[in-house]
Amino acid sequence: MGLRITTWNVNGIRNPFSYLPWSENRTYQSMFDKLGADIVIMQETKIQRKDLQDDMVLVPGWDVYFSLPKYKKGYSGVAIYTRSSRCSPIRAEEGITGILCPPNSSIPFRKLPADQQIGGYPADGQLDVRDEATLDSEGRCVILEFPAFVLIGVYCPAARDETRTEFRQAFLDALDIRVRNLAAMGKQVVLCGDLNIIRTGLDTAALQERLRKDSMTFDEFISMPPRRFLNQLVFNGQVIGERDEGRENPVMWDLCREFHPLRERMFTCWETRKNARPGNFGSRIDYVLCSASLKHWVIDANIQEGLLGSDHCPVYATIDDMVTFNGRRTYLADIMNPEGMFKDGKRLRDWSPKDLLPMSAKLIPDFDRRQSIRDMFAKKATAMPKSNLSALHTNAQSTPSLTESGPSASDPGPSLPSSSQPTTSISASPQRPLPAKRQSETSSSSSRPQKKSKATLNKENSTKTGSGPAQRSLMGFFKPKTPAPDLNISKDTKDARNTISPSPKTNTGWSTDTDKEAIFEDKGAKRLDPFEDDAIEDWPDDTLKPTSLPNDSGKVFDPIQSKESWSKLLGKRVVPKCEHGDECQSLVTKKPGVNCGRSFYVCPRPLGPSGDKEQGTEFRCKTFIWSSDWSGRQ
C-alpha cells in the first residue's frame, strides 16, 4: 500500500470545497481519503489564527501543524496534516531559520536543548540577512521530524515585482542552507511544496515565445538566481558555468522528473485569468524532493492534474512499506512513529493525545481537550445491560403514583396540597425523595394567581368587540375608502369595500389602484415606500394632481406600452459572438497605460496549447472587440 505524501497549493484552505469531488462531502477527512494520502502539505491556506475552525483542526484520525502569517491578512500560510494511524512526528517546528519560538515559550527553536532540536539551523555568517525573523513572519514553512527523515513543507515567495526580489532570494538562501546543513548532519530530508520556480525548459509552455518577447537567451533564462539555486540543489540539474560556493554538490532528487524524465507538459499550475488549464498551458512549480538515500524508498511519484479545486494540482510521492534503513530491511511504520509504537510492522500501542507535540494545533486553547461536533453525533449509544433494564422495570412497578389528590390510602406518605393546575403524574423513587426546593415550589404554586388562558382572552375580546366593525387587514390601509364608480366590479368586491367606514382624510382623488401605478410609471419614478412620511413631500406638484376617472378621460394609460418604451431605451446589451458562435466574455484591461480600465470582449474558450489565440481550432479564437465600439442591444 505504501505511505503517500501529497503537496497541494490549495489557494485558500476552503477553496477546494467549491469543486467536485470535494463538494460532495465537505470535510477534510473525506478530502484526504479521496487523495489517498497519509501526509498532506497545503500551501496558501490564506487564514489567520482567529480563522481556525473546528473542522480544520479537529479532523478525526488526523493531526495538523500550521504556520500562519503574523501580520498580513489572507496571505500565504502552510499546513501539514498527518494520519495518526500511519505516522506520528517526534518533533515539529515553524519557520526555516529557527528564530521563532515554540508555543507558550520565549526560547527560539534553535536555542532549545539539543534533544529537542531538529537541527540544521543557519550558522553565523552563513545567511546574509539583517532580520531573520522577517523571513519567517509570513507563514511559509513547517518542519516535522520523523525517525526516518525530516519533512519540510514550504511555500516559497513568487517574483511579483522588484520590491520582493531581495526577500525572495534571502528565503531561498535560507532554505538551501537548512537542507544542506541537515544533510551534513546525516539526516534524510523530504522537501515538498510550491517553490514558485520553473526548473527547466521542459517545465513551462511556449518557452521560446516567452524568450523572444523578453529578448532573453536560454542560458540567461536557466541562469536566473532562483532557477540556478534549484538546479544546484537537485541531481541532474542544468547549471551554466561554475557552481556557487557551498553548492558544489547536489543533495536532492526531483522525484516527479525522475519517474517521468521525458514527459512533456507535466504542469502543476495554470493561470486562472486566462482559463489556461483546459488547454494545459501552464508551468511546473510544485515539487517533491528527497535526499539521495531516500530515492530507492519511493515507488511512485506523479501529478494529479485531473483533480480540480485550485489553480494548482496535487503532486505526490509514495514510499514503500519495506525500506532499507541503517543497512537493514525495516518496516516503514517502525521508523515513521515514536519508538515503541510499532515493531516489525505491528502496532504495540495506540496513538493517544499524549503523543501530541507542542506545535500541534489541537493544543491551541480553543481546541484543546475537545472533539469535533460531527464525532459527538456520530457515536452510537451504548446498549444498556439487561440487568439494568430489569432493575428499572422493578423500580417502576414499586414506585407510587403521585397525583394532585395525594397518595393512595394503601400507600402512606406525605400529602400534597391541591392546586388548580392540570393533573400530572410524577414517578418518585422511594430511595430518592423529592428535593425540598422542588417541594416548596410545588406547594407555593397554588397561592400564585393563575394567568388567563388564550381561550379566555379570546372569549372576552369577542364579547367586547362583537357588535363593532371587524378589524381591517393591512391591505385595507392602502385601498381607497371612497367608493369608485361601477366599473364592472364584482358584487363581492363592492361588499368588501362597503364594510370599511370611509375616513375624511383618505379622499385623495385617486381613481383606482391601476391609475395610481400609472402615475409612477408615467413619471419614471421609483415606487416609494408608503410607510415613509417624508417621501410624499418630495414629489413634484403635478404628481399629486388627482386624475380623472377612466370614463371621463379620452386617453387610458397603458402600462404595458410604457414598459416596452422603457425597455427599448434601457434594454440589455446583446453580447457579441466570437468566430465559434459563442457569446463573448467581458474583461477589463488592468495593464498600465492609456487603455487601463477599458472593458472588451473576447472569445470565452480557454487558451490552447500554444498559449495564444488560434484560428480554426476548438480553443480561443482571435475575436477582440472594445466595449465602447459595440452598441448592440436586445
Going by the annotation, the residues of the binding site for Mg(2+) are: 9, 44, 194, 196, 311-312
Q: Which residues of 237-268 are buried (b: 16+ CB within 10 A; e: fewer)?
A: bbeeeeeeeebeebbbbbbbbeeeeeeeebbb
**Which residues participate in the annotated binding site?**
9, 44, 194, 196, 311-312
Number of neighbours of residue 522 by Cβ within 10 angstroms: 12
Single out the catalytic residue among 65, 155, 316, 601.
155
Grouping H, G, I as helix, E, B as strand and the rest as coil, residue 348 is coil
Asked about 580 being catalytic, the answer comes back as no
Asked about 320 being catalytic, the answer comes back as no
Residue position matching grid coordinates 533564462: 221
Rounded Cα distance between 327 and 335, Å, is 14
Grouping H, G, I as helix, E, B as strand and the rest as coil, residue 137 is coil
Cell numbers that stand for 317 in this block: 510521492
Number of neighbours of residue 453 by Cβ within 10 angstroms: 9
The terminus-to-terminus CA distance of the chain in angstroms comes to 60
- E strand or H helix that includes residue 386: helix 386-398
Single out the catalytic residue among 286, 312, 334, 601.
312
Asked about 513 being catalytic, the answer comes back as no
Contact partners, residue 633, CB within 8 Å, separation at least 6: 571, 572, 573, 574
Rounded Cα distance between 31 and 28, Å, is 5
How far from 599 is each of 548, 570, 587, 628, CA to CA, in Å?
Answer: 49, 20, 5, 8
Number of neighbours of residue 338 by Cβ within 10 angstroms: 14
Please choose, from the candidates 178, 12, 219, the residue with its C-alpha nearest in 3D space to the C-alpha of residue 95.
178
DSSP state of 266: -
DSSP state of 505: G
Answer for the pair 325, 333: CB distance below 8 angstroms, yes or no: no
Question: Residue 467 is which amino acid?
Answer: S
Q: For residue 633, what are the β-bridge partners?
A: 573
Single out the catalytic residue among 63, 173, 194, 254.
194
- E strand or H helix that includes residue 34: helix 28-35
Please choose, from the candidates 236, 238, 235, 234, the residue with its C-alpha nearest in 3D space to the C-alpha of residue 221.
238
Helices 559-569/513-523 angle, 10° precision = 20
Please choose, from the candidates 316, 323, 314, the residue with its C-alpha nearest in 3D space to the C-alpha of residue 295.
323
Catalytic positions, please? 155, 194, 312
